[in-house]
Amino acid sequence: MMKERKTVIECRNVSKTFYSMAGDNLVVDNLNFNVYENEFVVLFGPGQCGKSTILNLIAGLEKPTGGEIIVSGEKVTGPSPKRGMVYQTTNLFMWYTVMQNVEFGPKMQGVPKKVRRERAQKYIDLVGLKGFEKHFPVKLSGGMQQRVGIARAYANEPELICMDEPFGHLDAQTRYLMEEEVERISNSDRRTVVFVTNNAEEAIYLADRIILLHNCPTSVHKEYIVDLPRPRDYTSPDFLALREQITAEMDNTL
Amino acid sequence: MKAKFNTKGFVNSLFFSLIGIVAVLILWTLGVNYTTVGLLLPTPMEVLERAIYTMSNPIGRTNTLLMHLAVSLRRVLVGFTLSALCGVILGIAMGRFKMVEAIFKPLFELVRPIPSVAWIPLAIVWFGIGETAKIYIIFMAGFVNITVNTYAGAKQVDENMLGVARMLGANELQAFFHVVIPSCVPYIFAGMQVGLSTCWMAVLAAEMVSSTEGIGWTITAGQENGDMTQIFVGIIAIAIVGLLLAVLMRWAERVLCSWRVRGK
C-alpha cells in the first residue's frame, strides 16, 4: 500500500543560502524528503532552524540556491494557487469581510460568483465561522482569524496546504482548541498538509509523519511515523513516550 | 458593524460644547452693550437677524446668503474633485513606481510649500478673474495635501500581503486593486479631509481678491461698505459650512473604512 502512494512533494538535494553584505548564510543544507498524497507531515525542529524557509521554498516565494523541489511532477518556480499557505500572522485582507477573504482565491481565478460563494460557505461552515461571514477580521479573536486563514487556503482547493506555525501567536487554551479543529477539518476534507511547528505536543497530536530537522543549516535529522489512533490523547502513555523520545532527539540536533 | 449609538455620551459632549459657545455669546453681548467694543461690533442678535434677513433678501445685486454659499461650494466641489483625482493618481504612482517617484518627487517637493494664496496673482494673470482662476487656486490647495497622504499610504503597503494575494492566484493587476488600493484608502481619506478644509479656505481667499459673488465676496463687500454685521454673517456662515464639510468627510470615512473599527 505504501508504494502505491502518489508523491506530492519531492525535495531533491535542496540548499538555500542567503547572500548579504554581512556574509553568506547557509540556512538549508542538502535537504531531501518526500511528502505523499493526503499525508499530514509535520516539519519539526528547534526555533530559527530554517523551517519557515523550507515552506517558502515549497510555496515558491523563495528560490533554492541548490537542488530542486518538485510538486505534483512540476518543478517549483514561483507562487501558485495550487499551493495554499496558512501564515503565523494570519495575513488576512483586513479590508475584506470573512466571506470576501475566503472567496478571494477562487475569485482571482475567475470562478463564477455562485460557485465560489457556495465553496467559500462550505469552508466557512467547516471551520466553524457560520454567522460571521460579514464580519471584518479586526472584530474577530486571534483563533477565529486563524480559522479564516485556514478556510481561505482550503477554499482555493490546492493540491497542497502549507501551514507555517499557524498557532504560534495563540494562547495555550486556544491553541489546543485549534489543534482539535485542524484534526477535525483534515478528517472531513483530506488534503496533503505540510505543517511547521516547534511544539512537540502539537507535532505528535497532528502528524501522520514527523520530520525532525537539524538546527541551522538545516536538513532532515530523523523521521517518525506516528501511528497512534486518532483523535490522540495528549496524556496517553504512548503519546508521552513518543514526546519524550522526540524531545530528547531534538536536543541532539542543537 | 452598526455601532450602537451612545446617547448618554452624546448628550454629555453636546452639553459641554454648548456651554463654551453660549459663554462666548453672552460675553459678546455684554461687551457690545456695556463697553466701547460696541462701536466696532454688532451684537449676536443683530448678526442672527441679518443672517435670517439675507436668506430671502439679496446681498449685493441678486444673490441671497444661501446663493452666495452655493456659488462658493460649487467652486470648491469642482476644484476639490479635480485635486482628489490628480492627487490620488500621482500619490499612488509615486508610491508604487520608482521611476515616477524619481521624476515627480523633486518637482512636487518644490510646489508643496507654496501656500495656495500665493497662486492668486499668478492665477489672475494666467486665467483672468473668471471661474478658472479660482478653481485653479482651490485645486492647488487640495492637491498638495491629498498627494502627500496618498503617497505615504502607497509607500506603507505591506509587501507580504502582495505575496499572499499572488499565492492565492492574483495577477499583478488584481493584487494592485485588491491590496494596494484598499490599504491606501485610509490615507487617501486623511488627505481628503485636510484637503477639503484647505480648499474651502482657499476659495474664500480667492473670492476676497477678485470676484462679484460668493461668500468670500460678501465679506469684502461688507468691509467696503463699512457694514460690520455683513462681515460677521459671512464669517459665521464660512465657519458653519466648513464644519459641515468636515463632518460629512468624517462620516464618509466611517462608512468606507469601517473595516478598521474595532469592537462591536
Q: Mean pLDDT score of chain B, rounded to an integer?
A: 89
- For residues B193 and B184, give the distance between their C-alpha atoms in angstroms, rounded to a whole number: 14
Q: How far apart are the first and last CA of chain B?
A: 7
Sheet containing A83-86: give its strands across: A83-86, A160-164, A192-197, A40-44, A209-213, A220-225
Residue B264 binned pLDDT confidence (cut-offs 50, 70, 90): very low
Q: Please tell me the distance in Å from B196's CA to the nearest CA on chain A.
A: 24
Q: Residue A80 pLDDT > 60, yes or no?
A: yes
From the candidates A63, A88, A93, A136, which should be mutated to test the interface with B, based on the most B CB atoms within 10 A? A93
Instruction: Determine what percent of chain B is predicted with pLDDT higher than 70.
Output: 97
**C-alpha distance from residue A150 to each of A41, A144, A187, B102, B212 (Å):** 16, 10, 14, 41, 64
Q: Is the peptide bond before A229 cis (omega within 30 degrees of 0)?
A: no
Interface residue B170 vs chain A (CB under 8 A): yes
Q: Is A109 exposed, middle or buried (0-12, 13-18, 19+ CB in 10 A)?
A: middle
Residue B210 pLDDT = 76
Q: What is the mean pLDDT of residues A35-61?
A: 90
**C-alpha distance from residue A112 to each of A29, A96, A104, A106, A243 (Å):** 44, 19, 12, 8, 47
Contact assessment for residue B202 and residue B137, using Cβ atoms and an 8 Å cutoff: yes
Q: Residue A150 pLDDT > 90, yes or no?
A: yes
Residue B4 pLDDT = 59
**Better pLDDT: A216 or A124:** A124
Residue A133 binned pLDDT confidence (cut-offs 50, 70, 90): very high
Contact assessment for residue A5 and residue A190, using Cβ atoms and an 8 Å cutoff: no
Q: Which CATH architecture has domain B42-256?
A: Orthogonal Bundle (1.10)
Interface residue B56 vs chain A (CB under 8 A): no
DSSP per position, B5-45: P-HHHHHHHHHHHHHHHHHHHHHHHHHHHHSGGGGT---HH
Query: Model confidence over B152-174: pLDDT tens digits?
Result: 999 999 988 999 999 999 999 99
* Residue A143 cell numbers, joined: 483563533
Query: Model confidence over B35-44: pLDDT tens digits?
Result: 888 888 899 9
- For residues B56 and B52, give the distance between their C-alpha atoms in angstroms, rounded to a whole number: 7
Q: Please tell me the distance in Å from A118's CA to the nearest CA on chain B.
A: 18
Q: Residue B109 pLDDT > 80, yes or no?
A: yes
- Torsion angles phi and psi, residue A76, rounded to 5: -75, 125
Residue A2 binned pLDDT confidence (cut-offs 50, 70, 90): low
- For residues B169 and B183, give the distance between their C-alpha atoms in angstroms, rounded to a whole number: 19
Per CB-CB distance under 8 Å, the chain B contacts of A84 are 167-168
Q: What is the mean pLDDT of residues B72-79?
A: 94
Q: How many of the other CB atoms lie within 10 Å of CB of A120? A: 26
Is A96 in Cβ contact with B259 (below 8 Å)? yes
Give me the count of residues in chain B: 264
Interface residue A135 vs chain B (CB under 8 A): yes
Interface residue A59 vs chain B (CB under 8 A): yes
Q: What is the mean pLDDT of residues A94-122?
A: 95
As a whole number of Å, the CA-based R_g of chain B is: 23
Q: Residue B232 pLDDT > 60, yes or no?
A: yes
Q: What is the mean pLDDT of residues B179-183?
A: 94
Query: Model confidence over A51-64: pLDDT tens digits?
Result: 889 999 999 988 99
Contact assessment for residue B123 and residue B136, using Cβ atoms and an 8 Å cutoff: yes
Q: Residue B209 pLDDT > 60, yes or no?
A: yes
- For residues B134 and B200, give the distance between their C-alpha atoms in angstroms, rounded to a whole number: 11
Is A84 in Cβ contact with B164 (below 8 Å)? no
Residue B181 binned pLDDT confidence (cut-offs 50, 70, 90): very high
List the beta bridge partners of residue A42: A195, A210
In the DSSP assignment, the letter for residue B180 is I
* Residue A78 cell numbers, joined: 514561483
Interface residue B180 vs chain A (CB under 8 A): no
**Better pLDDT: A160 or A250:** A160
Q: Residue A48 pLDDT > 90, yes or no?
A: no
ipTM summary value:
0.86
Q: Residue B149 pLDDT > 50, yes or no?
A: yes
Residues 6 or more apart whose CB falls under 8 angstroms from that of A194 comprise A9, A35, A41, A43, A55, A58, A160, A161, A162, A163
Interface residue A81 vs chain B (CB under 8 A): yes
Instruction: Determine what percent of chain A is predicted with pLDDT higher than 90.
Output: 60
Q: What pTM was estimated for this model as a whole?
A: 0.82
Query: Model confidence over B19-31: pLDDT tens digits?
Result: 999 999 999 999 9
Residue B3 pLDDT = 53
Contact assessment for residue A104 and residue A152, using Cβ atoms and an 8 Å cutoff: yes
Q: Residue A3 pLDDT > 60, yes or no?
A: no
Q: Is A244 exposed, middle or buried (0-12, 13-18, 19+ CB in 10 A)?
A: exposed
Residue B1 pLDDT = 42
Q: What is the mean pLDDT of residues B117-127?
A: 89
3-state secondary structure of B170: coil
